[in-house]
Structure 1
Amino acid sequence: MKGLYYNGTQAVYREDLPIPVPGEKESLIKIRYSAVCNTDKEVQKGYRPSFRGIMGHEFVGKVISSPDPALIGRRVVGELNASCGTCIYCRTGRPTHCSNRKVLGMDSKDGCFAEYMTIDTSLLHIVPDALPDTQAIFTEPLAAALEILTQVHISPDKNAAVLGDGRLALLTAQVLALTGVDLTVIGRHPEKLELFRPFAKTTTCGVKEGYEYVAECTGSESGLPQAMELVRKKGTILLKSTYSGTVSLDMSMVAVNELTIVGSRCGPFEPALRLLTDNKIHLPEIELYELRDYEKAFASTAFKAGFSFPS
């Protein structure tokens, strides 16, 4: 089997990987498309130093075998985190924070940068017939953007800023725009900011203490300190970035200014599928490569890059 394997130092393209054998509760998926996330790039920089295995967690695939016969032959997308069901977080309704969780392409579980993958059947979601693969591939990152709305009530009579002008920022901004909030997107690249103009104000320089909510979507260590400058006292920072590295902050200012910082990660798939199917979210096309050309995919400046696999 062809796959992209992380050996602890770098990603390596291989053609000698065994087709995985599903466990008792798992399904075998033939991958149709998989997409590169910024987190995958951070894995290469040491974000998950203990991981060894096939990378990738954003995919659309076809179910080859499953303990649920109704899924066989269906197109599916899938969640990242396989939980144990018994730890304190699973028992208290927080399975994505399971103490023993396995995370696709990042922690104790091979991912989707390969021809086949196994996944816990409970994590699968059927792709509606009307939704093409090249749009369904955005389900996971859109779900992550939607997680914000499960965590924080966004008052539509206040204002918000999205910090960043990349993929996650575009998804997060469109989700926030659905609430009717007065939205500004702050980025570094005027050409990228053009994508945001249909639903948000755009600028390359935000207003200090100008926003009640600031969604930090830069994917960079510099994002959180900048967000703290932009948010108003008693405001809320929504932290979406994950990266390899640490940030030095004056945490006393969080206390003095009574700021709320909300970490936000994985989110609900079914609402994401509905929004995509109903054309409520508008995204550029994914730029596709063969798996052997992974270096080009990882270096691509396109909105989204990924891999296509023969039928």
Structure 2
Amino acid sequence: MIQIVTCYNPPALIRVLFRRPARFPPIDDPAMQALYLDDGQITAIDDHQVDPGQGEVVVDVIQAGICETDLQLRAGYMGFRGVPGHEFVGLAREGSFAGRRVVGEINCSCHQCPTCRAGRPTHCPHRSVLGILNHDGAFAEQVCVPERNLHLVPDDVSDDRATLVEPLAAAFQIPAQVDLSGAPQCVVIGDGRLAYLCAQVLRHHGCHVTVVGKHAPKRQRFESLGFETCDRDDVPETRDVDLAVECCGSPTGIDTAMKWLRPRGTLVLKTTVAAPHAASLAPLVIDEITVVGSRCGPFEPAIEAMRHDAIEVDSMITARYRLDQCQDAFDVAADGKHMKVVLSIAAGGGNID
């Protein structure tokens, strides 16, 4: 259940689309809005304060996207308590990007432990994760982010596109993990926002992609981009797909993927499911399936893809809300009718449906 406690709307910052000098309110503004998650309840608060740690900078959030992980957090995933939100664009207040628009990677790692030194900082055992694990996120007027996690947003990338850099980077993690040479046959399980990005990234790397989903209107979005689609309940004549990417966030996703995947094929799991569920591992063993867990990905190719219009993202944001409209925002994001819901946080940041 979501509760609204206050509708206070203090001044924030001027919306910025291109590089220009930034003027900030005092960093110790006593009245900052945020969304607070505790025991499955999202509450709008107006007394949020930030306290940057060593190596962190304060970012004034322009807007932030609600994703499936945020909905899963509300359902109990990770037991998170605090300010959620990790898909964002904002203005850095300090550091090398001061006054510039930035996006940020979500894993806040120590960069000193053996795991980090071995080149695996996203799996640092001491890490916090922005808006997900022991670190307040971006559903707030300000967020603290390690400076080394920030990436400059080019002047020719809009705020809307920048808000989608983090999920697009997650899609670009697939070619970072799996050999896509030889134009493999691929199937994407799911017809939502993550599937929309993953299917395009796979095609961008030369794959032949079929999208499998249960919602005919959503499948039409893929068809408009030239993808072949199939209803989830249809059974293919042969199991000849080299790579299956599960993007549906449902316990049934693996079973659906196995209907398509050839023996010794590769199954990439892109989503997490909060609820406990049973799964038979026998088919994976019998068919010698390679299973790849896939999380966060590289920001650089995602930003470059947006700069060069290589991935269609402009149609994805279909609803906008203020922080004090969090109940409506989360309800709309959860009902599955909108591709992407964003929270407009900076002053003048949009409707507000």
Task: Identify whether the pair has TM-score above 0.5, normalized to the shorter chain.
Answer: yes
For 2:89 and 2:266, the matched residues in 1 are separated by: 34
For 2:111 and 2:260, the matched residues in 1 are separated by: 40
**Matched residue SS, 2:295:** coil
**Matched residue SS, 2:73:** helix
Match of 1:251 in 2: 281
Match of 2:345 in 1: 309
Q: Is the 8 A contact 2:193 2:316 kept in 1?
A: no
Unaligned runs of 5+ in 1: none
Residues 216-269 of structure 1, C-alpha deviations (whole Å, 9 max, x = no match): 000112112221232111111111011202332222221211101100000000
Structure 1 consecutive aligned stretches of length 4 or more whose deviation exceeds 3 Å: none
Shift of 1:12: 1.0
Among 38, 56, 69, the alignment partner of 2:85 is 56
Among 220, 239, 249, the alignment partner of 1:219 is 249
Unaligned runs of 5+ in 2: 1-31, 348-353
For 1:249 and 1:225, the matched residues in 2 are separated by: 8
What TM-score results when the alignment is normalised by the length of structure 2?
Answer: 0.84
For 1:310 and 1:90, the matched residues in 2 are separated by: 35
Match of 2:128 in 1: 102
Match of 1:296 in 2: 328
Q: Is the 8 A contact 1:83 1:101 kept in 2?
A: yes
For 1:43 and 1:212, the matched residues in 2 are separated by: 32
For 2:45 and 2:136, the matched residues in 1 are separated by: 14
Please say if 1:9 is aligned against 2:40.
Answer: yes
Percent identity of equivalent pairs: 40
**Matched residue SS, 1:161:** strand
Match of 2:309 in 1: 279
Q: Is the 8 A contact 1:177 1:199 kept in 2?
A: no
| Residue type at the aligned position of 2:150 | L
**Matched residue SS, 2:39:** coil
For 1:185 and 1:120, the matched residues in 2 are separated by: 37
How do residues 183-198 of structure 1 correspond to structure 2 at under 5 angstroms?
183-197=209-223, 198=225
Q: Is the 8 A contact 1:186 1:206 kept in 2?
A: no
Range with bigger deviation, 176-185 or 261-270: 176-185
For 2:320 and 2:123, the matched residues in 1 are separated by: 32
| Residue type at the aligned position of 2:278 | S
| Residue type at the aligned position of 1:200 | F
Residues 94-132 of structure 1, C-alpha deviations (whole Å, 9 max, x = no match): 100000101011111000000001110000000000010
Please say if 1:78 is aligned against 2:104.
Answer: yes
Match of 1:136 in 2: 162
For 1:77 and 1:6, the matched residues in 2 are separated by: 22
What TM-score results when the alignment is normalised by the length of structure 1?
Answer: 0.95
Shift of 1:310: 2.8
For 1:202 and 1:102, the matched residues in 2 are separated by: 38
Range with bigger deviation, 187-196 or 98-107: 187-196
| Residue type at the aligned position of 1:144 | A
Q: Is the 8 A contact 2:235 2:259 kept in 1?
A: no
Among 228, 249, 254, the alignment partner of 1:201 is 228
For 2:183 and 2:160, the matched residues in 1 are separated by: 35
